[in-house]
Amino acid sequence: MTNPEKETSFAETAMRLSGKSEEEARRTGAVDRVDDEVEALFAAQYKTVNSPVHRAVWESAIPIDLFTTPQEKPDILSNPVMQKSLEVIRDYRRRNAQYDERGKISNDLLNELSKAGYWGLLIDKKYGGQGVSVREFMAFLTRVATIEPTIAGLASVHGCIGAVDPLRTFGNDAQKEKYLPKLASGEMLSAFALTEPGAGSDLTALKTTAVLEGDNYVINGEKLFITNAIEGRTVGIVCLVDGKPAAIIAELPPKQNEHFQIVDYKLHALSHAYNNGLKFNDFKVPKENLLVPLKGDGLTVAYHGLNMGRLALCATASGVMRMMLANMMPWADFRETYGKKIETRELVKRRIARAAALIAGSDALVSWGSWLLDQGYRGELECIIAKIFGSEAEKECAIELFMKTHGGRSFVQGHLFGDNVHDFLAPCIYEGEGEMLGMAFFKSLAKEHGSTYFEPVGLALQKHGIKAFNPANPAHAWALKSELSTYGWWYVNQLLGGKDKREISGMDPKLNEHLNFALEQMHQHPLELSEAMVKHQLKLPDRQCRIAEMSGRVQDTVIMIVTALWAHEKNDRVTTMAADILCQDLTRKLVGERPSDSYFRDCSKLADLIIEGEFKDLQGIEKADIIFSYDKNEDSKSKMKAKA
């Protein structure tokens, strides 16, 4: 296991051995150490190496119990605060009063939600909050997103990546008592200022500084892409203190001044929320607002909240896709081509079925991930999968399914797609761009294996002065005989290991078949990953496309396992069929086959059930008016007259 107390990490050592510059090696090592520091916050059984995904890849027997999400309670949304909040949001939506004159969520609505207790759901009751579980919170976000997605997003910003999580996790008693009650009541709404013009995926490039002068830290620098960043908000700011990243809680003044300015750059996405830049010029914050983690620094604080934020993104995407599917149905029923409703057309039916499949996958990943977080798991690998899948699913549903079904009307002002297209696409970037996250996923997945088997080889190469290892060179093999024999035993055991096959009592035969296919795929992943490490050796970090491809294969396999088991536990006909469609899609992606005619028939059968109203989760979702509707009867009369 990687030792967080080591002076240099495996990644840093590998970078130096591969000939990278000292600067790149140092920065890579810094990120690796932050990851170790976050890991140190969790009990041994909940660290990444003991997570379901890590164990499934590297252990011979897959821990099915850790992939089987218990059914959620029927009353999971019964909390009075949740019910009151939903009433408030629906009321404002019905009155078309949710936005102000700038098109942003109105202060009246934000204040009404404060009275309802909306902002304190994740805050402990001792500080005036509700202390709901992660699973309850995520299920609630999905429901909120079916009404007004921006409101769901703001709850995530405030509770998951804003000031709430940093204070709950890293604040001292005085800081918690000062801020958490106000954050729970909505007197304070929060954001988190991490990104800078030159520091996005590379957070080692931070330049904003905080210098202690007397009783205050004096902050100078600029932050970018900060949601909920306006005057009067409470913001967690990551900056450099004595050259090291630190996190400070700051109360932004009610008006801009010479020390603090808002940078408004007219972002297309987040059209109904404020996403701005922040400029600090000798901006003072009391020194007691510095968060001091027991382990780590400001990046540790930032990294900790990201997992729940990523899960929240998937939960919100699931609600948004429900809204899209619910709004496809009236149009598919209304629109006719050549005398037949388009809901009878096979292409449209496939789109309806695919949308339901994407919703099923997102729901499964959110339920599973939140259940793991509630148990105490770090959930890094699991939440990355949820974020990537949810954001890509929302993008596909918007472009390939929703837009194409509505045709030209999609681009008319007032249409759900045309008015919100940037919001549907932007989640692919939020909380880490998908392919970049995929590489981070691979790194975390391969870290222990590399440290155990490949770091000793690298150090031995350095010791013996071998710049490029050649296994055909007897001298090289002899010099590394001890290190290679250790790896050889592992490799042989993997080759000889048996397949992991399960027969789940009462499981739909198709889902059980998908499960066993995924288990077989999972059995192949360790050798694929390890052989890539052998082939590319210290150059592997530069093979970004290969890393992303391998990472994606593991993620798709995990999604199949989770979705099949989740659908089995849910025991609902539409859910089972939707999960089957998703698993068929993922199987073809993994093996490179074309869809069969039976697959298209399965899509049509699922679509017919949804058209008949069997997808209960779509009930109660508000549907927009049909734009440029026409009188079909009048249209028919005109045709008759023309013929005459």
End-to-end Cα, the chain, rounded Å? 84
Q: Evaluate if residue 4 carries a pLDDT over 60.
A: no
Both 291 and 325 in a single domain? Answer: no
Half-sphere exposure of 127 (CA within 13 A, CB side): 25
Domain membership flag for residue 20 = no
d(CA 246, CA 442): 27
Q: Check residue 30 and give its pLDDT.
A: 64
- Note whether 210 and 239 are within 8 A (CB): yes
Give the integer Cα–Cα distance in Å for 413 and 89. Answer: 23
- pLDDT value for 640: 37
Within 8 A by CB and 6+ apart from 489, the residues are none
Over the stretch 598-612, which tens digit does the pLDDT of each residue have? 999 999 999 999 999
Residue 333, Cβ density class (10 Å: 0-12 exposed, 13-18 middle, ≥19 buried): middle
Residue 267 within a domain: yes
pLDDT over 80 at 9, yes or no: no
Distances (CA, A) of 169 to 31, 293, 294, 308, 507: 20, 9, 10, 13, 40
pLDDT band, residue 473 (cuts 50/70/90): confident
**In angstroms, what is the C-alpha Rg of the chain?**
26
Token pair 């999609």 is at which residue? 410
**Residue 642 confidence (pLDDT) above 50:** no
Q: What is the pLDDT of residue 630?
A: 80
- One-letter amino acid identity for 638? S
Q: Do residue 309 and residue 376 come from a single domain? A: yes
* C-beta neighbour count of 62 within 10 angstroms: 20
Q: How many domains in the chain?
A: 2
Same domain, 295 and 314: no
Find, among 374, 399, 461, 519, the residue nearest to 70 by Cα: 374
Q: Are 288 and 309 part of one and the same domain?
A: no
Q: Tell me: the pLDDT tens digits for 265-287?
A: 888 999 999 999 999 999 999 99
Q: Do 405 and 319 sit in the same domain of this protein?
A: yes
- Residue 29 belongs to some domain of the structure: no
pLDDT band (50, 70, 90) for residue 16: low
Q: Of the candidates 559, 123, 500, which has an alpha carbon nearest to the alpha carbon of residue 369?
A: 559
Residue 231 has pLDDT above 70, yes or no: yes
In a domain? residue 315: yes
Cβ neighbours of residue 201 closer than 8 Å, sequence gap 6 or more:
432, 433, 436
Q: Please report the pLDDT score of residue 553 as a whole number.
A: 97
What is the per-residue pLDDT across 106-115, written as a single tens digit (0 to 9) for each?
A: 999 999 999 9
Residue 416 lies in a domain: yes
Does residue 379 form part of some domain?
yes
Residue range 494-521: mean pLDDT, rounded: 92
Look at residues 243, 122, 227 and name the one whose alpha carbon lies nearest to residue 235.
227
Give the pLDDT band (50/70/90) at residue 25.
low
Would you say residue 473 lies in a domain? no
Q: Which residues contact 203 (CB under 8 A, 6 or more apart)?
A: 31, 194, 238, 245, 299, 302
- Dist CA 552 CA 475 (whole Å): 38
Claim to verify: residue 330 and residue 357 sit in the same structural domain: yes
Of 635 and 450, the one with more pLDDT: 450
Q: Which pLDDT belongs to residue 537?
A: 76
CATH number (domain holding residue 319)? 1.20.140.10
**Are 29 and 8 contacting, i.e. CB atoms less than 8 angstroms apart?**
yes
Q: Judge whether residue 536 has pLDDT over 50.
A: yes
pLDDT digits (tens, 9 = 90+) for 149-195: 999 999 999 999 899 999 999 999 999 999 999 999 999 999 999 99
Beta-carbon contacts of 480 under 8 Å, excluding residues fewer than 6 positions away, are: 457, 460, 461, 464, 469
Residues 334 and 413 reside in one and the same domain = yes
Domain boundary among 284, 299, 314: 299
Q: Which residues contact 493 (CB under 8 A, 6 or more apart)?
A: none
Share of the chain above pLDDT 70, in %: 93
**Mean pLDDT of all residues in the chain?**
90
Task: Summarize the confidence of residues 65-71 as an average pLDDT.
Answer: 95
Same domain? 389 vs 402:
yes
Spell out the alpha helix ranges (H) of 247-345: 298-334
CA distance 407 to 384: 33
Q: How far apart are CA 587 and CA 601, in angstroms?
A: 17
C-alpha count within 13 angstroms, C-beta hemisphere, residue 390: 32
Rounded (5°) CA angle 149-155-161: 120
**pLDDT value at position 266?**
85
pLDDT digits (tens, 9 = 90+) for 117-138: 999 999 999 999 999 999 999 9
Asked if residue 364 and residue 274 are part of one domain, the reply reads no
Model confidence at 342, pLDDT cuts 50, 70, 90, reads very high
- State the residue range of the domain holding 233: 190-299
Query: In Å, what is the CA distance from 501 to each residue of 512, 518, 519, 554?
Result: 10, 10, 7, 18
**Judgement on whether residues 256 and 344 belong to the same structural domain of the protein:** no
pLDDT at 1 over 50: no
Asked if 197 and 336 count as a contact pair (C-beta separation under 8 A), the reply is no
Q: From 250, 265, 299, give the residue that closes a domain.
A: 299
Burial class (CB in 10 A: 0-12, 13-18, 19+), 160: buried
Phi, psi of 238 (to 5 degrees): -95, 125
What residues have CB less than 8 Å from 625, skipping those under 6 apart? none
Contacts of 363 (CB under 8 A, 6+ apart): 142, 318, 566
- Note the pLDDT of residue 13: 54
Q: DSSP per residue over 426-480, as a string?
A: GGGTTTS-HHHHHHHHHHHHHHHHIIIIIHHHHHHHHHTT-SS--TT-HHHHHHT
User: 161: which DSSP letter?
Assistant: I
Q: Which residues partner with 240 through β-bridges?
A: 209, 245
Query: 423 and 315 in one domain?
Result: yes
Final residue before a domain boundary, out of 299, 329, 344: 299
Q: Find the largest Cα–Cα distance for the chain.
A: 95
Confidence band for 299, pLDDT divided at 50, 70 and 90: confident
The owner of tokens 């010029």 is 281
- Checking if the pLDDT of 28 tops 80, the result is no
Q: Which amino acid is at 414?
A: G
- Predicted local distance difference test score (pLDDT) of residue 108: 97
Q: What is the DSSP letter of 238?
A: E
Q: How far apart are CA 599 and CA 344, in angstroms?
A: 17
Shared domain for 398 and 307, answered yes or no, is: yes
* Helix (H) or strand (E) segment spanning residue 277: strand 275-286
Counting other chains too, the contacts that 18-27 makes at CB distance below 8 Å and 24 or more residues apart are: 18/538, 18/539, 18/541, 19/538, 27/202, 27/204, 27/205
How many CB atoms lie under 10 A from the CB of residue 138?
30
Cα distance between residue 308 and residue 430, in whole Å: 13
Residue for token pair 């509505």: 406
- Condensed to tens digits (0 to 9), the pLDDT of residues 411-446 reads 999 999 999 999 999 999 988 899 999 999 999 999
The percent helix, strand, coil of the chain (3-state, each to 5) is 60, 10, 30
The sign one gets for the Cα dihedral 12, 14, 17, 18 is: negative
- How many angstroms separate the CA atoms of 340 and 209, rounded? 65
Read off the pLDDT band of 34 (50, 70, 90).
Answer: confident
pLDDT at position 500 over 90: no
Does residue 372 lie within any of the structural domains? yes
Strand partners, 249: 236
Is 643 a residue whose pLDDT tops 80?
Answer: no
Instruction: Report which residue type is found at 380.
Output: E
Which pLDDT does position 644 carry in this prediction? 38
Q: What is the CATH number of the domain that holds 287?
A: 2.40.110.10
